[in-house]
Amino acid sequence: MAEHEYWMRLALAEAQKAAAENEVPVGAAVVADGRLVALGRNDRERTQDPLGHAEIRALSAAAAEIGFWRLEGCSLYVTLEPCIMCSGAMLQARIDRVIFGARDPKAGAIRSLYELASDARLNHRIEVVEGVLENECSEILKAFFKKMRK
């Protein structure tokens, strides 16, 4: 679990950067063979791009770094449970596992609303680890939205 916490702290640092940019504070890290491959954070407001989710940014950066779209052998750490779009991107990228912090009861597609990572109808499955630094991941989101409501 200590290894998961290490990588999740990097994703949390990205989430903090997103919050500082007035973006929803979600951060992600792609890891392979014990090394950081890529980072990503939400940037929809800055880029006005609906694809500006942390997971999408991290997966794209990882594919560019590796030089191949298949991210087999990679793990994606993300502070918030991925949505349908991001879950689909992870399946398409063929990542091995997703490790997330907080569940997303309104849009989560890994455990909360859907279970796309383990859907037997699809041609790829993703190992899921949830709840890593859950409190920290949840608190950064709560603090952000509390600030936005003021």
End-to-end CA distance of the chain: 37
Concerning whether 21 is annotated as a catalytic residue, the answer is no
Q: Which is catalytic among the residues 55, 72, 81, 115? A: 55
Using only C-alpha atoms, the chain has a radius of gyration, in whole angstroms, of: 14
Contacts by residues 113-116 (CB-CB < 8 Å, ≥ 24 positions apart): 114/84, 114/87, 116/84, 116/87, 116/88, 116/91
Q: Which residues are catalytic?
A: 55
